[in-house]
Amino acid sequence: MTENPWKTKSIATVYENPWIRVEHHEVLTPAGKDGIYGKTHFKNKAIAILPIDEEGNTWLVGQYRYALDAYSWEVPMGGGPLELDTLDSAKRELKEETGLTASQWTELQLIHTSNSVTDEVGYIFLAQGLTEGEPEFEDTEDISIKKLPFVEAMDWVMQGKITDSLSVIAIFRVARALGY
């Protein structure tokens, strides 16, 4: 590990809501010159869950993503408060968005979502030993649920039907782990 070549002179919050804080940093660049840097601090961990049943099926969720102004098919995912256990948050998100509970959990990957402008950390889980139940959507969610063979979800990634980065990573990571 190398020492941070950036030197922070000051940090100012320019915007904040319950999910993010946007900061303006006055810095000395690695070349020793005055500069600026913008950083988005996330107040939650990004958590993606890929459920796989004994028959090789998975579940995707579809919803309109306001920031993209587009509909998106994704693996079940959401935010987990930084101070809470990541696995507990993953279990809550899977139940909330699909109604599924799982008896077997495997943490597959830690990722940084866009490390040039944010400190967001993502976690990807494989959920197995599934039991179906009723979803518990949040008020801000209008979600469609689709059960399909896992190989079809892999095809959706290759066809560009799934573009969310955590979903793409989850599907390819599970494909590799399960030998697809």
Q: Output the pLDDT for position 140.
A: 77
Does residue 18 share a domain with residue 94?
Answer: no
What residues make up the domain containing 162? 44-177
Instruction: Tell me, yes or no, whether 116 lies in a domain.
Output: yes
Q: Report the distance separating Cα 123 and Cα 170, nearest Å.
A: 9
Residue written as token pair 């979600």: 143
Residue type, 74: E
Instruction: Tell me, yes or no, whether 1 lies in a domain.
Output: no
CB 86 within 8 A of CB 99: no
CATH code where residue 109 lies? 3.90.79.10
Does residue 141 share a domain with residue 127?
Answer: yes
Does residue 152 share a domain with residue 96?
Answer: yes
Low-confidence residues in the chain, pLDDT < 50: none
Q: Report the distance separating Cα 35 and Cα 43, nearest Å.
A: 26
Does residue 81 share a domain with residue 70?
Answer: yes
Q: Report the distance separating Cα 97 and Cα 145, nearest Å.
A: 8
Does residue 22 share a domain with residue 83?
Answer: no
Backbone angles phi, psi at 91, to 5 degrees: -60, -45
Taking only the tens place, the pLDDT of each residue in 119-152 is 999 999 999 999 999 998 888 778 999 999 999 9
What the block records as the tokens of 90 is: 């993953």
Query: Nearest Cα to 130, choosing from 62, 77, 56?
Result: 56
Domain count, the chain: 2
